[in-house]
Amino acid sequence: MRMYDIIKKKRDGGELTTDEINYFIGGVTDGSIPDYQISALCMAIYFRGMTPRETCDLTFAVRDSGERVDFSSINGIRVDKHSTGGVGDKTSLVVAPIVASFGIKVAKMSGRGLGHTGGTVDKLEAIEGFRTTLSDAEFIAQVNKIGLAIVGQSKQFAPADKKLYALRDVTATVDSMPLIAASIMGKKLAADDDCIVLDVKTGSGSFMKTVEESRELARLMVDIGKNAGKKMVALITNMDRPLGNAIGNSLEVIEAVETLHGCGPADLTEVCITLAGYMLSLSGKGTPEECETLAKQAISDGSALNKLIETVKAQGGGSKLIQNTDNFAKAEYSRPVISAVEGYIERVDTEAYGLASLALGAGRNKVEDKIDYSAGIILNKKTGDYVHKGDKLAVLYSNNPSTFAAAEEKLLAATKISGTEPKNEPLIYDVIK
């Protein structure tokens, strides 16, 4: 087989065979195919697309390019949730304990934030002492004992994706539906869950900017998961505005705890209840509606919050921080962002909000950058709110006050205030089964 022939076939609109796709991913993984040929095939896929069968083959080849986790010694049904990435998205910290409080196993391997999006592992590391690295034996024992463990991805999952993503990033081929689906699902399927709920974000804070694109991606990923024998559902959720009011690691943990106390922001609570409802429903606990009621109960009777406290304790974290979030270290400096104009917040550029938080120190530009866990933004006004001149739009937090000017400028530029009251967009656009 020759890489030249595979590129030419796809360039001319042909359908690649399973063997050709396996040959390609094999060569990406062992380094035998040069970067220029990998990039050329990505570009051909970008323009010509792939059939569902090709996309599925590509996903399975990516999944099989590295280690897989064996969860067979976990007793009971295993369910996971995966978000395509957003701003202020702390849903995992809320839904995982809700679901685990019903005896369903959540063996969660999460990512770190990069660029404008946050990551669950960084948020958890804002809890002093919390260990995001456990041995396989510790991880599995904890899931068997209390139903929930959350760690960073320590294994060499899907190494072909790492290489492909790095090349796509510099060859303008990231936004190709089959390449995105194979990248996300290739990594997801390397873990050994029975059920997966996907949270496909749509809008200005997500890499899928329209609901139609998000729907298409969700359909593709749900079908791939089902082909791999998983129970699947995808929700299409609104990322045209940050989720909740807090952006930044410890600020988001605090908001997640407030949500588990039943007093979180309405938008975050709604998305969490819906996600948890589908996770419980896929796990056999009833219809999605019945399971939403269960999820609400787990919040009102305190069992979900207790499960989070138990998990934090088990992983060495300061559970007193969760019991009383006033104990979280505060940023040394804060600065209010004041509106100079009057009108409705017509829309916001959510990605720019994420970048403003990153500028304050809450995220990293490079993998090796250090995070300021207490840095971030609390939003006082969101899309649809009416603001008067002099109203506080947000408060910025950082241990480095020299970051405030750039963050404030970004936030103001990203907030369109006008006389037009925006249409009330749904939080959950669709459910793809």
Q: In the complex with ligand URA, which residue's Cβ is closer, 183 or 249?
A: 183
Set 82, 108, 188, 219: catalytic member: 82
Smallest gap from Cβ 84 to ligand URA, in A, equals: 6
Nearest to 382 by CA among 209, 236, 206, 239: 239
Tokens 């019991």, residue?
Answer: 323
Smallest gap from Cβ 185 to ligand URA, in A, equals: 9
Set 92, 183, 204, 281: catalytic member: 183
Set 78, 163, 187, 215: catalytic member: 187
Nearest residue to ligand URA on Cβ basis:
183
Q: Give 160's contacts (C-beta < 8 A, 6+ positions apart).
A: 25, 28, 29, 61, 62, 65, 66, 186
Say whether 278 sits in a helix, a strand or coil.
Answer: helix
Q: In the complex with ligand URA, which residue's Cβ is closer, 126 or 180?
A: 180
Q: In the complex with ligand URA, which residue's Cβ is closer, 89 or 372?
A: 89
Q: Helix 303-314 to helix 288-300 angle, to the nearest 10 degrees? A: 70
d(CA 173, CA 354): 23
d(CA 9, CA 7): 6
Tokens 């079908």, residue?
Answer: 223
Kindly give the pairing relationship between strand 415-418 and strand 343-348: antiparallel
Q: In the complex with ligand URA, which residue's Cβ is closer, 62 or 74?
A: 62
Smallest gap from Cβ 16 to ligand URA, in A, equals: 19
Q: Give 240's contacts (C-beta < 8 A, 6+ positions apart).
A: 202, 203, 204, 205, 347, 348, 350, 383, 425
Smallest gap from Cβ 50 to ligand URA, in A, equals: 14
Residues that bind ligand URA (CB under 6 A): 165, 174, 179-180, 183-184, 207
Set 161, 193, 267, 349: catalytic member: 161
Q: In the complex with ligand URA, which residue's Cβ is closer, 46 or 207?
A: 207
Set 78, 108, 168, 201: catalytic member: 168
Provide the strand spans (E) within 328-425: 333-338, 343-348, 376-379, 386-387, 392-398, 415-418
Q: In the complex with ligand URA, which residue's Cβ is closer, 184 or 190?
A: 184
Q: Give 395's contacts (C-beta < 8 A, 6+ positions apart).
A: 334, 335, 336, 337, 377, 378, 380
Smallest gap from Cβ 348 to ligand URA, in A, equals: 22
Q: Is 410 a catalytic residue?
A: no
Q: Is 82 a catalytic residue?
A: yes
Distances (CA, A) of 70 to 65, 108, 139, 399: 16, 13, 12, 42
Q: Is 187 a catalytic residue?
A: yes
Smallest gap from Cβ 174 to ligand URA, in A, equals: 6
Active-site residue list? 82, 161, 168, 183, 187
